[in-house]
Amino acid sequence: MIELGERLESVSAQEALAWGLETFGDRLAIGTSFQAAGMAIVDMAARLRPDVRVFTIDTGRLPLETHDLMIEVERRYGIRVDVIGPDPGEVDAMVSRHGPDLFYEAASKRMLCCEIRKVRPLARKLATLDAWVTGLRRGQSAARAEVRKLEIDSANGSIVKLNPLADWSSEQVAAYNRDHKVPQHPLYAQGYTSIGCGPCTRPPMPGQGPRSGRWWWENDTRKECGIHFTPLGKVRRDVDILLEEIAGAVAIRS
């Protein structure tokens, strides 16, 4: 796998994606939140394989514009986006215990919300696959600087994680989408540079990084939800405690 990974580092994004589609077939799917890089991946894949599988996580707090773009993607490419949602019982227990906007109170509560609304639904989806494709790029943030085109997703059953755009710049993504007239998220026109849940996303301030608009009230520069990178230290321990409380509440209700 190391040798294969090194070989894929030297090929184009389209070639890396074509390898994944050919190798894994229907056991591979693209996971996307319909941001610029993810849209480039969807467009590339649809050109290589029109029946490519695409899924997204609907957290229940997405902007309306994200839902509108999802519909446009289905119409443009003739595919059905598989929409994955969180467990209703877990969401109800979390909201009943901590309120709907718990993420503003502490980093651990924000990570709890991400865990229940995004990470756990993703894990359930990935358990049905042998490989998945993301739009991760090294230039997005310091936390993503070591992303490789081919990785083993040890957090999700050691399936293959393919990041064809790992070595692309934001300018390359923009050029691809412009040249191929790829549909773009409407919030980009309002100054957004990274788009997630509605309450947790805003345009960055002048001079700030592209992911600074995510969870802007937190001082920690590690702007991640836990899907691609797991929080370390005290925050992780606090999240585990909060998850145990939610699990207990769900068990009582059932």
Consecutive 10-residue averages of pLDDT for the chain (254 residues): 82 96 97 96 97 97 97 96 97 96 91 93 97 90 82 93 95 97 96 93 88 82 62 62 74 67
Q: Where do the domains of the chain lie?
A: 2-253
Structure tokens, 202 = 């805003």
* Catalytic residue from among 113, 197, 200, 225: 225
CA–CA gap between residue 116 and residue 73 (Å, rounded): 26
H-helix or E-strand containing 162? strand 159-162
Report the pLDDT value the prediction gives residue 211, as an integer from 0 to 100: 81
Report the pLDDT value the prediction gives residue 230, as an integer from 0 to 100: 60
* β-strand pairing of 159-162 with 150-153: antiparallel
Report the pLDDT value the prediction gives residue 207, as an integer from 0 to 100: 85
CATH architecture of 2-253: 3-Layer(aba) Sandwich (3.40)
Cα-Cα-Cα-Cα dihedral sign, residues 93, 96, 98, 102: positive
Report the pLDDT value the prediction gives residue 250, as an integer from 0 to 100: 76
Report the pLDDT value the prediction gives residue 87, as an integer from 0 to 100: 96
DSSP of 43-61, one letter per residue? HHHHHH-TT--EEEE--S-
Q: With 0-12 CB in 10 A as exposed, 13-18 as middle and 19+ as buried, what is 114?
A: buried
Report the pLDDT value the prediction gives residue 1, as an integer from 0 to 100: 67
Closest of 148, 99, 92 to residue 116, by C-alpha: 92
Q: Which amino acid is at 223?
A: K
Report the pLDDT value the prediction gives residue 247, as an integer from 0 to 100: 77
Is 200 among the catalytic positions? Answer: no
The neighbouring-strand residues paired with 132 are 29, 161
Write down the pTM of the prediction: 0.88
